């Protein structure tokens, strides 16, 4: 039996102690704890890494503090479109959705694409038609609306720029795309990522989060990775698969491979953000080149950690 391991993130960016009140900080840490609990319960009961990452991400999607599911950021046209993906390192199967609206838990729709269709990736109207065909739980626009997110859009709407929601400096602002990676007691790994994308994004813009190999990747021979950051850079750098390749072809450890990509590939071209990873031996790593990253991890021997800033 392999000692299980779980890591989660709730987004990276300009997250500095002076920008968060102690109350807000406590709420973030509690939300991260709850997600670790949701995934950890499954892993403790010898459940699968795939079930654990879905459960952890659902918990983060239901929490309006994070930019995924409820609390997703607004696009330029005032809509909220969400993207998500999930990958099972054991079977090599993957599922993804993008440009979806009103879906309560995008990560579960991504999993349904993986398990109920012969495809990997459904987008827009096709993804919504599929969601209706399987009776995926939906919510009214009001469920997803948060005043702070709307204010964030107002801040940047006329600038012609997109922004990681963590980088729009509004007091009491909300941060982050969410993700989870896990290694279960059978040594199988899985990864899941879910996001509302970038504030003020153009209608139809899709980032790295739903793209297998960029924002999400899992392979039992190497690792499971979930990313967060400025998606355009993560797409061009093919971040998650590159980390796996560095392990597979150059024999780097998980930590080395993640640091190589975060600091030597992303940072020089201006790609701000971070990523979480586990390997099939139960090692985990949480790496970011931004000021902070909402994050947490849990291991079979009971070690639990949640953190926000660079330590
Ligand atoms: N990577 C996400 C995107 O570009 C944003 C984020 O991680 O905050 O859509």
**CATH number of the domain within which 140 lies:** 3.60.20.30
**Local confidence pLDDT in tens for the 311 residues of the chain:** 889 999 999 999 888 888 889 999 999 999 999 999 999 999 999 999 999 999 999 999 999 999 999 988 888 888 889 999 999 999 999 999 999 999 999 999 999 999 999 999 999 999 999 999 999 999 998 898 888 787 878 877 777 667 666 665 543 333 479 999 999 999 999 999 999 988 878 888 999 999 999 999 999 999 999 999 999 999 999 999 999 999 999 999 999 999 999 999 999 999 999 999 999 999 999 999 999 999 999 999 999 999 999 87
Q: For residue 228, give the ligand 1 atom closest to its CA.
A: 7
Q: For residue 229, give the ligand 1 atom closest to its CA.
A: 7
List pocket residues of ligand 1, CB cut-off 6 Å.
Answer: 11, 67, 164, 176-177, 195, 197-198, 207-209, 228-229, 231, 234
Residue range(s) defining the domain that contains residue 176: 5-309
Could you please report the per-residue DSSP string of the chain? -PPPEEEEEEEEES--GGGS-HHHHHHHHHHHHHHHHHHHHHHHTT--HHHHHHHHHHHHHTSTTSSSSTTPPPPTTS---EEEEEEETTT--EEEEEEE-SBS-HHHHHHHHHHHSS-SEEEHHHHHHHHHHTT--B--HHHH--HHHHHHHHHHGGGT--B-GGGS--TT-----EEEEEE-TTS-EEEEEEE---BTPPTT---STTSBTTTEEE-TTSEEEEEEE-HHHHHHHTHHHHHHHHHHHH---HHHHHHIIIIIIIGGGT--EEEEEEETTS-EEEEESSSEEEEEEEETT--EEEEEE--
Total tally of structural domains belonging to the chain: 1
Predicted model pTM: 0.94
């Amino acid at each position: 039996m392999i000692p299980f391991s779980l890591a989660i993130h709730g987004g990276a960016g300009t997250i500095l102690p002076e920008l968060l009140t102690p109350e807000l900080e406590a709420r973030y840490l509690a939300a991260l704890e709850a997600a670790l609990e949701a995934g950890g319960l499954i892993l403790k009961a010898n459940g699968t890494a795939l079930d654990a990452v879905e459960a952890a991400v659902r918990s983060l999607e239901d929490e309006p503090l994070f930019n995924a599911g409820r609390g997703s950021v607004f696009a330029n046209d005032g809509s909220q479109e969400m993207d998500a993906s999930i990958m099972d390192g054991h079977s090599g199967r993957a599922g993804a959705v993008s440009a979806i609206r009103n879906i309560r838990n995008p990560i579960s729709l991504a999993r349904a694409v993986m398990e109920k269709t012969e495809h990997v990736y459904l987008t827009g109207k096709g993804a919504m038609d599929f969601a209706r065909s399987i009776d995926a739980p939906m919510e009214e626009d009001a469920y997803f609306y948060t005043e702070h997110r709307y204010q964030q859009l107002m801040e940047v709407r006329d600038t012609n720029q997109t922004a990681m929601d963590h980088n729009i400096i509004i007091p009491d602002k909300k941060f982050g795309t969410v993700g989870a990676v896990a290694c279960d007691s059978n040594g199988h790994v899985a990864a899941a990522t879910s996001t509302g994308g970038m504030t003020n994004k153009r209608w139809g813009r899709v980032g790295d989060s739903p793209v297998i190999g960029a924002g999400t990747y899992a392979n039992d021979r190497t690792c499971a990775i979930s990313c967060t950051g400025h998606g355009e850079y993560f797409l061009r750098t093919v971040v998650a698969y590159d980390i796996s390749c560095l392990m597979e072809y150059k024999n780097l450890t998980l930590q080395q491979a993640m640091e190589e990509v975060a600091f030597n590939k992303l940072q020089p071209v201006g790609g701000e953000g971070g990523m979480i990873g586990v390997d099939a031996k139960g090692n985990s790593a949480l790496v970011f080149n931004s000021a902070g990253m909402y994050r947490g991890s849990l291991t079979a021997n009971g070690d639990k950690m949640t953190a926000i800033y660079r330590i």
